[in-house]
Chains A and B, each alone.
Chain A
Amino acid sequence: MLVVAFVSFSLFNFVGDPINNMVGEETSDEERYELRETLGLMDPIHVQFSRFVVNASKGEFGISYQLRRPVSELIAERLPATIELVVISALIALISGTLLGVYTGINRKSFVSDVILAVSLLGVSLPTFVIGILFIYLFAVILGILPSFGRGEVVDLGFWTTGFLSISGWKAIILPSVTLSLFQMTYIIRLVRAEMMEILQTDYIKFARARGISEESIKYKHALKNGLIPVITIAGINIGTLIAFSIITETVFQWPGMGFLFIQAVQFVDIPIMSAYLVFIAFVFVMINFIVDILYYFIDPRIRVKGDSVSG
């Protein structure tokens, strides 16, 4: 975690001169100097660096070069939008992806499976932004039933702003979250399917068949339980990827979340925002990995009793 923060700062620290990117050609040297002072860019590197680490641990990342507002404030403002979007998308992707993956893995030869697979392959080939544009065109421009941008009516709960408490908020989240989840869903379908197919060919499934265990129990108890173990890992990676891809979805739907903020930061080389975003992402990933490891411990008996010596 610290390492990532470390790397993120040291990288950005040597990247270009933000002043040139912020101001126009006509700005005078005095004005530039003043700006440097206020942003703390005149201090020696090690001072800037240690200040960065101290502030980062307090959740402060300085002042945005471009918007000239504290980064922490900007992030706090945008965070709820992104989290709501990602959570809804993750649920859609995981639930439907796993169900369809199990179905296609078990019914290898059925027509429905072939259709699902063809569609899922198309899903992998559709860039998120293309899906977004198609959705906007279809549902917003032609049918006009769903909004094409923004979060709809937002309720402010003080520390959190949510779109879940209004109808327009729910309407607004449908298109972005489906768009965001589609790409991930197709991945999950294919991974779960491959896993199920491999498990159905193992010796222990064959032995279960040889004992006369019913096909239903073999598929939905013996195979499924084993097949779901990797889904935990997938879920972890999935959430991380969703956060990254929310950048694109937020841009397409002009969703006021962190991704939208970040992409503007990249375009304007707004380093405080970029480094804050990176630190935030790193934090999320570390948390996800931690949770996944704990879940594994409870679900897979092979890990749980690894320390025990083999006896018998």
Chain B
Amino acid sequence: MSFLKIKDLSVNYQMRKETVYAAKNVNIEVNKGEILGLVGESGSGKSTVGNAIINLIDEPGKVSSGSILLGELNIHEDPKNIVKYRGKKIGLIFQDPQTSLNPILTIGEQLIETIQTHLALTKEEAKERSISLLKEVGIKDAAKRFDDYPHQFSGGMRQRVVISLALCCEPELLIADEPTTALDVSIQSQILDLIKKLTKERNLAVILITHDMGVIAETANRVAVMKNGDVVEIGITKEILTNPKETYTKSLVSSVPPTNKKISRFVIIEKENNIDNKNNLKILNRWTKKKIIKQDLVQVKNLSKSFDDNFFTESSKNSVMAVNDVSFNIREGESFGLVGESGSGKSTIAKMIVNLFKPSAGEFFFDNVCVTKIKQNSEMMKFRKQIQMIFQDPYSSLNGRLKVRDIVSEPIKLHNPLISKNDLDSYVFDLLESVELAQNSADRYPHEFSGGQRQRISIARSLATQPRLLVCDEPTSALDVSIQAQILNLLKDLQEQLNLTILFISHDLPVVRQMCDRIGVLRDGKLCEVSDTEDLFLKPQHDYTKELLRLMPKIESIYN
């Protein structure tokens, strides 16, 4: 007998033009002591289901039908009663620990209030209970930290506090909505271990909402796959991941970059774009293709960057070394990967290479010319032309006030002011075609495109100056996994056709393994290790690399 039974749950949003169903007739059951993974891409309705269980849907959405049984209890029978079950029977954890806690109340005040809302305990008893709970979720010096404010905790610790708040009245059902997405890999695995441990010890029923198949593979007993508000497939995790029945699940699983091997291309089952011209790129007629000579295109020598931390003190003593004495080379035509967790300095290096930041110390050579020493603007323009960049966030990397045509043609006009109108148009079309976008895209605005398509526009813009080096700063980490696979395929194709050199920056080890020939591992601004990709994954040298590889969620773990 299942503990939680969701029957025919529907949630709709009454929009201006139509009614949007965020969830349609969802049926899910969860047992005690079991973690159910609820997986899907953005907009699939997975979070909606989580919020609908405790009737916490933002306006103008509402639960339009369905029942939710908790044991024998129909908790949606009287919507007013649901408040009683929140926290008491059902605990909820949100994605971002930074914003989940009230900044001006101490964590102790927040814990005591929650406990006293549901349980008839005195203040002292509640405090005692809170402290033992904080210890249970792994907070050291719990008694001392009881009176601290949320901002005095680090991200991972804050998520532990959030978990303790969700569990403080011993709910039987825990809903965790992307609990580790905002955290680094090493902290992610700690939090997931904690959730697994608590599930067993407290015999909880857990719904783990996530987009990350690796997390699902490592934690969930069963998994439900959602798409556009429907549950597409539900079953034992191992069966779903190894032998998916539905097309959508198949495409989802095949898009996940494998962690244990390198594949040449991702198998794409459902494609976002229909255009596919990978064998005769018209852009090649304009491209002065460089012969690949096996030599270094980029040399980074002892590069450092410090930011003065004026926020706390006026002196420069507190300056933070974002990048500390980093050296590496990139050969012409290769893909070089830089991996590291947040704050490792990988994006700062990218910004120094594209000349957005001036290095504090060290040199950077491009094609044997020292770029850091260039003073003249006209000299600099020559290098700007050859080094281009693709950004992480597809929403902020395009100016929403300009048409795609103007976005893509701006670099062309800048570096070739005399180009004729017709020639410019056909150039723009050729570029759009090279990223598999239709010609009529040119007259539309960025907001009319999806994240993946925007990233294609961004690539088209970066190709407009015919660069030799393309710096990709987490180009797919804001995208859904199936879109990511398509963009990664595109980058591989373009690199091959145009002989591009790529500096690929990511926190995602499986992705880096698929994309790169050589990899450098960064930690706290220092380069730990540089080696060929397969060597790095098979025989890591540095302890930190070993740790990262051990902690990364592996979809293949399901086979063991």
| Interface residues, chain A, with chain B CB atoms under 8 Å away | 202-215, 217, 221-222, 225-226, 229, 300-302, 305-308, 310-312
B121 within 8 A of A: no
Chain A neighbourhood of B103, CB < 8 A:
204, 226, 301-302
Take A204-B99, A204-B103, A302-B151 as given contacts and tell me if A209 and B117 are in contact as well, using a CB distance cutoff of 8 Å: no
State which residues 128-174 of B face A: CB under 8 Å. 139, 145, 149, 151-154, 156-158, 162, 165-166, 169
Of the candidates A202, A307, A311, the one having the most CB atoms from chain B within 10 angstroms of its own CB is: A311
Given A211-B117, A212-B86, 15 more A-B residue pairs with CB atoms under 8 Å apart are: A204-B101, A204-B102, A208-B110, A209-B86, A210-B94, A211-B165, A212-B85, A217-B117, A226-B103, A226-B104, A301-B104, A301-B149, A302-B103, A310-B151, A312-B158
Take A310-B151, A310-B152, A312-B157 as given contacts and tell me if A213 and B114 are in contact as well, using a CB distance cutoff of 8 Å: yes
Chain B neighbourhood of A300, CB < 8 A:
104
Contact with B153, one of A221, A302, A306, A310 (Cβ below 8 angstroms) = A310
| A208 to B165 Cα, complex, angstroms | 9
Chain A neighbourhood of B113, CB < 8 A:
213, 217, 221
| A202 to B87 Cα, complex, angstroms | 18
Take A222-B105, A229-B104, A307-B312 as given contacts and tell me if A213 and B56 are in contact as well, using a CB distance cutoff of 8 Å: no
Take A212-B87, A212-B114 as given contacts and tell me if A206 and B101 are in contact as well, using a CB distance cutoff of 8 Å: no
Chain A neighbourhood of B54, CB < 8 A:
210
Contact B312 A204 (CB under 8 A): no
| A70 to B69 Cα, complex, angstroms | 84
Take A211-B165, A212-B117, A226-B102 as given contacts and tell me if A203 and B86 are in contact as well, using a CB distance cutoff of 8 Å: no
Chain A neighbourhood of B156, CB < 8 A:
312
Chain B neighbourhood of A207, CB < 8 A:
92, 94, 100-101, 162, 165
Contact A212 B100 (CB under 8 A): no
Chain B neighbourhood of A306, CB < 8 A:
312
Chain B neighbourhood of A211, CB < 8 A:
86-87, 91-92, 114, 117, 165-166
| A208 to B114 Cα, complex, angstroms | 8
| A300 to B158 Cα, complex, angstroms | 19
B419 within 8 A of A: no
Give the contact-size bracket for chain B.
Answer: 35 or more
B331 within 8 A of A: no
| Shortest Cβ distance from residue A70 to the other chain B in the assembled complex, whole angstroms | 44
| A205 to B94 Cα, complex, angstroms | 12
| A300 to B92 Cα, complex, angstroms | 28
| A293 to B154 Cα, complex, angstroms | 27
Take A207-B101, A229-B104 as given contacts and tell me if A312 and B118 are in contact as well, using a CB distance cutoff of 8 Å: no
| A22 to B407 Cα, complex, angstroms | 65
| A203 to B93 Cα, complex, angstroms | 11
Question: What 7 A-B pairs come out closest when comparing CB atoms?
Answer: A212-B87, A212-B86, A312-B157, A211-B87, A203-B99, A210-B92, A312-B154
Contact A203 B100 (CB under 8 A): yes
| A233 to B88 Cα, complex, angstroms | 39
For B110, give the chain A residue with the smallest CB separation: A208
Take A213-B114, A306-B312 as given contacts and tell me if A208 and B151 are in contact as well, using a CB distance cutoff of 8 Å: no
| Shortest Cβ distance from residue B115 to the other chain A in the assembled complex, whole angstroms | 10
| Shortest Cβ distance from residue A224 to the other chain B in the assembled complex, whole angstroms | 11
Take A301-B104, A310-B153 as given contacts and tell me if A209 and B166 are in contact as well, using a CB distance cutoff of 8 Å: no
Chain B neighbourhood of A311, CB < 8 A:
152-154
For A205, give the chain B residue with the smallest CB separation: B102
| A214 to B117 Cα, complex, angstroms | 8
Chain B neighbourhood of A312, CB < 8 A:
139, 145, 152-154, 156-158
Contact B99 A212 (CB under 8 A): no
For B86, give the chain A residue with the smallest CB separation: A212
Contact A206 B152 (CB under 8 A): no
For A307, give the chain B residue with the smallest CB separation: B312
Chain B neighbourhood of A222, CB < 8 A:
102, 105
Contact B94 A203 (CB under 8 A): yes
Contact A305 B114 (CB under 8 A): no
| A177 to B77 Cα, complex, angstroms | 54
Task: Sample 19 A-B pairs with CB under 8 A, ordered by A number.
Answer: A203-B94, A203-B100, A204-B99, A204-B101, A206-B56, A206-B94, A207-B92, A208-B110, A211-B86, A211-B92, A211-B165, A212-B86, A213-B113, A215-B83, A301-B151, A305-B149, A305-B151, A312-B152, A312-B156
Chain A neighbourhood of B145, CB < 8 A:
312
B96 within 8 A of A: yes
State which residues 51-102 of B face A: CB under 8 Å. 54, 56, 83-88, 91-92, 94, 96, 99-102
Contact A204 B100 (CB under 8 A): yes
| A93 to B145 Cα, complex, angstroms | 40
Contact B56 A210 (CB under 8 A): yes
For B84, give the chain A residue with the smallest CB separation: A212
| A207 to B94 Cα, complex, angstroms | 7
Chain A neighbourhood of B158, CB < 8 A:
312
| Shortest Cβ distance from residue A133 to the other chain B in the assembled complex, whole angstroms | 44
| Shortest Cβ distance from residue A27 to the other chain B in the assembled complex, whole angstroms | 57
Chain A neighbourhood of B149, CB < 8 A:
301-302, 305
Chain B neighbourhood of A302, CB < 8 A:
103-104, 149, 151
| A211 to B101 Cα, complex, angstroms | 12
